[in-house]
Amino acid sequence: MAKFNIIGRDTLRIDGHKIVTGKAPFLNDIRLRGMLVGKILRSPHPHAEIVSIDLSKAKSLPGVKAVIGLDREKTRYIGNHVAAVAAGDEQTAEKALKLIEVEYKPLPYVVSAEKSMEEGAPRVYDKRPNVEKIRDEKRGDVELGFKEADVVLERTYKTAIEIHHPAETHGSIAKWEGDRLIVWDSTQAIHTVRDGLARILGIPAGCVTVIKRYMGAGFGSKLGLNVHTVSAAMLAKQTGRPVKITLTRKENSLCVGNRPASLQTYKSGVKKDGTLTALSLINYTTGGVKRGDRCSEPLLDVYRCPNLHVKEYTVFTNMGGSRPTRAPGHVQGTFGLEGFLDELANEIGMDPLELRKMNYTTKNRGDTGVPYSSKGLDKCYELGAEKIGWHRRNKTPGAGQGSTRRGLGMSSQIFWGDGVPGTLADVKLYPDGSVDVICGTQDIGCGTRTHMAVVAADTLGLQPKDITIKLGNSDYPWAPISGGSLTTPSVAPAVRDASLKAADHLKEMAAKKLKVSGKDISLQDKKLADKNNPENAISFKELTRDLRRETVFHGERKGMPDGFAYNTFGAHFVEVEVDTETGQIKVLKVVAAHDSGQIINTKTAESQVIGGVTQGVSTALFEQRIVDDTTGTLVNPNWRDYKIATSMDTPEIIPIFVDVDDPHINILGTKGLGEPPRIPIAAAIGNAVYNAIGVHIRETPMTPDKVLQALKQKEVI
């Protein structure tokens, strides 16, 4: 790998000042002349047939400019879209919604997974069962593996549904200019939205432009095209004026996704020396009207085990549909698997970290597949254990004294984050020495603008502040969604490729000026110089004057060689304090060690880790969607009743990035980091609680009542 001057160091966000001073334009800051307010009418029933709908009274209300039905015959959850209006102001739009007359025929419904699985339960879909198999995968002979084991253990773990709650709720603005549609969207996927709008509206994709400037996060819920975006476009077409639809916090809770629940039953065989002989998982996952998450990827991959059987089922209910949520499936699966491994280690009297090391593998699929392109999980174990002081842990879970107990726990992490080949980026040089870097990606708050500037500046011998970044527009060169930890390993290599081409061109220009070979030219400190005679040099700005016109260099993220598995890895180590009288859990310290390849900007990387850990603490201890079974109503569709972690709950967090070279994955050796820090934290907290009090809380959120109940059951046993 090349040696870098800026890449891998701390760089302040190039737009940080704009963000903290309120000058960065978010969706709600956009004001267009004549813009109307759009609102969506939503079903009050968990399941109903729409017998009739009358829009006439709403259309006749003064100030209302358009009312449309949204082509539904049935509604399958409270909040399902029915109609949309556009008016001159929000109050009029709200009044118009109340004037739409809809005759519903309520139908039997089911909102809990347990009841949905019962024989004779109401069907969510007419022609589909409520329970469908989504994975059945085997390797080896599980029953033989159980027979070979010294100990066989079975345990069940449960995770709650987690609601997407980005600071900025979903919203879109649509404007037509003749046959051309322009959409401003709070989205993680501008090209996906563009293509979806073109398909639904029956217009060429080239006639649609999607713009995303700044957004207040998405966590996966903003990865696709939304009904409110299509509605805004349709209303704007009908009225001839821009239309803006912004969802309320309640709508955000009901209609735009959630992390599915899971009910995971693990069974394993293990020898006394810690060798895993068999692993099985049966998982029921609930994603409302959409499919639940496959939670078995960690089990399938991360530890050596020749015999395995996974069966996963999705359970449909009459609730809002699931959407990807920061590391979908991996968060739930890691909570179950990693908690189970700690209990397994205790059964054979083994340190849980040593159990993981015993079953370490450098090939995927439990050592039965292909080699990982790189794997620094062992280094994460070493550095994380040292930093947390792993030797201090209770050798026997719950061995402490007094009403307040402390414990240490850990968890491994595996995810993807290899990037998308074919991602494009342009570097444009101007005769005045200015530089544009252009890519149709989106910065969703993670610092994409900054990492693009860092890569280009390092390659061209400039500083990040010298680079103008242009992104967030579907008319720019293609880039994939900003989800799945794809953005940096997709975009940064494309920027690097374009920047290297620009650098080579400048070196050839400088070589002619300086009368040396292009191979002897170095690009550094805003000048091009002869490596053998540094005094023989020309400034970057002086050299670019000879361009005479702007010159564009096209970059592309190249493909990866076959025969390797491309993954990220990490390990979190946690110290907790548990009050055995109140059941309160306090997370004191988290050491988060990660292998995400070459880190582009350590400052924003640390920010990613701190954010992921904090979000994980929130879900581990507080977050859960609460539904009234008798009415199908969501009880906590707001930030008052949906509990999240605050600054008072945030522990000391120490990010560590291990130095692992990956020569296969891309020209920078970088991997994704968006999801990895979110994955292992809840499991590590659960294992630390187990170490503190000697009983495992096998369900998230790990609320005080669950802690007290577990302690009570322990006393009975």
**How much is the pLDDT for 274?**
98
Looking up residue 69, the CATH number of its domain turns out to be: 3.30.365.10
Q: What is the pLDDT of residues 475-493, one digit of tens each?
A: 999 999 999 999 999 999 9
Query: Which ranges of 430-523 does DSSP label H, i.e. alpha helix?
Result: 448-460, 487-514
DSSP state of 650: -
Q: Is 172 found in the same domain as 55?
A: yes
* 132-150 mean pLDDT: 98
Are residues 633 and 485 located together in one domain of the fold?
no
pLDDT category of residue 71 using cuts at 50, 70 and 90: confident
Domain contains 606: yes
551, containing H or E segment:
strand 551-556
Q: Let me know if residue 647 belongs to a domain.
A: yes
pLDDT beyond 70 at 79: yes
d(CA 310, CA 265): 10
Quick check: 507 and 521 in contact, CB under 8 A?
yes
Round the average pLDDT of the chain to a whole number and report it. Answer: 97
Mean pLDDT of the 227-245 span: 98
Size of the chain, expressed as the number of residues it contains: 717
Closest CA to 472 of 440, 499, 498, 494: 440
pLDDT of residue 1: 64
Over range 47-74, report the average pLDDT: 96
Residue 53 in any domain: the answer is yes
Q: Does the pLDDT at position 584 exceed 80?
A: yes
In 258-398, where do the E strands start and end?
258-259, 261-270, 276-286, 308-315
Is residue 327 included in any domain, yes or no? no
Query: Rounded to a whole number, what is the distance in angstroms from the first to the last CA of the chain?
Result: 57
Residues 6+ apart with CB under 8 A from 620: 681, 682, 685, 686, 700, 701, 702
DSSP H helix total and E strand total for the chain: 19, 30
Digit-coded pLDDT (tens) for 294-321 = 999 999 999 999 999 999 999 999 999 9
592 plus 495 within the same structural domain: no
Distance CA 184, CA 167 (A): 18
CA distances from 28 to 17, 185, 244, 281, 625 (A): 19, 10, 9, 45, 27
Enclosing domain of residue 239: 32-107+165-255
pLDDT at 163 over 60: yes
Measured distance CA(616)–CA(621) in Å, rounded: 9
Q: Is residue 616 part of a domain?
A: yes
- Is the bond preceding 701 in cis, omega lying within 30 degrees of 0? yes
182 plus 62 within the same structural domain: yes
Do 247 and 194 lie in one domain? The reply is yes
From residue 155, alpha-carbon distances to 158, 266, 344, 708 in Å are 10, 5, 10, 20
In a domain, 173, yes or no: yes
What percent of the chain lies above the pLDDT cut of 70?
A: 99
Q: Which residue has the tokens 């955000």?
A: 252
Q: How confident is the model at residue 717 (pLDDT cuts 50, 70, 90)?
A: very low
pLDDT band at 716 (very low <50, low <70, confident <90, very high): low
Whether residues 396 and 379 share a domain: the answer is yes
- Looking at 255, 270, 289, which one is the last position of a domain? 255
Alpha-carbon distance 50 to 43, whole Å?
Answer: 10
Q: Number of structural domains, the chain?
A: 3
CA angle 173, 175, 179 (to 5 degrees): 145
Residues 595, 656: one domain? yes
Asked which of 523, 556, 589 is the last residue of a domain, the reply is: 556
| Domain identity same for 411 and 447 | no
Residue 560: pLDDT over 50: yes
Q: Is residue 592 a contact partner of residue 677, using CB atoms and an 8 Å limit?
A: yes
Domain boundary among 502, 522, 556: 556
- CB-CB contact of 261 with 161 (8 Å): yes
Q: Which residues pair with 594 in a beta bridge?
A: 570, 657
Q: Are 665 and 489 in contact (CB under 8 A)?
A: yes
pLDDT of residue 714: 79
Q: 565-591: buried (b, 16+ CB within 10 Å) or exposed (e) per residue?
A: bbbbbbbbbbbbbbbbeebebebebbb
Residue 584, phi then psi, degrees to nearest 5: -75, 135
Backbone phi and psi for residue 284, each to the nearest 5 degrees, phi listed first? -115, 120
| Residue 284 in domain | no
φ/ψ region of 680 (left if φ > 0, alpha if ψ in -120 to 50, else beta) reads: alpha
Who's near 313: CB < 8 A, 6+ residues apart? 131, 132, 133, 134, 283, 284, 285
Q: Is the dihedral of CA 376, 382, 387, 391 positive or negative?
A: positive
User: Across the strands, what pairs with 180?
Assistant: 177
Is pLDDT of 80 > 60?
yes
One DSSP character per residue, 265-295 reads EEEEEE-TTS-EEEEEEEEEEE-TTS-----
602 and 702 belong to one structural domain: yes
pLDDT above 90: percentage of residues in the chain: 98
pLDDT 10s digits, 315-372: 999 999 999 999 999 999 999 999 999 999 999 999 999 999 999 999 999 999 999 9
Same domain, 436 and 577: no
Listed residue (119, 166, 483, 109) closest to 288, CA to CA: 109
Band of pLDDT at residue 400, cut at 50, 70 and 90: confident
Convert the pLDDT of each residue in 4-24 to its tens digit.
999 999 999 999 999 999 999
Q: With a cut of 80, say whether residue 249 has pLDDT above it.
A: yes
What CA–CA distance (Å, rounded) separates 657 from 661?
12
Do 531 and 605 lie in one domain? The reply is no
Q: Quick check: is 322 in a domain?
A: no
Residues 660 and 590 in one domain: yes
How much helix, strand and coil, in percent to the nearest 5, is found in the chain? 30, 30, 40
79-96 mean pLDDT: 98
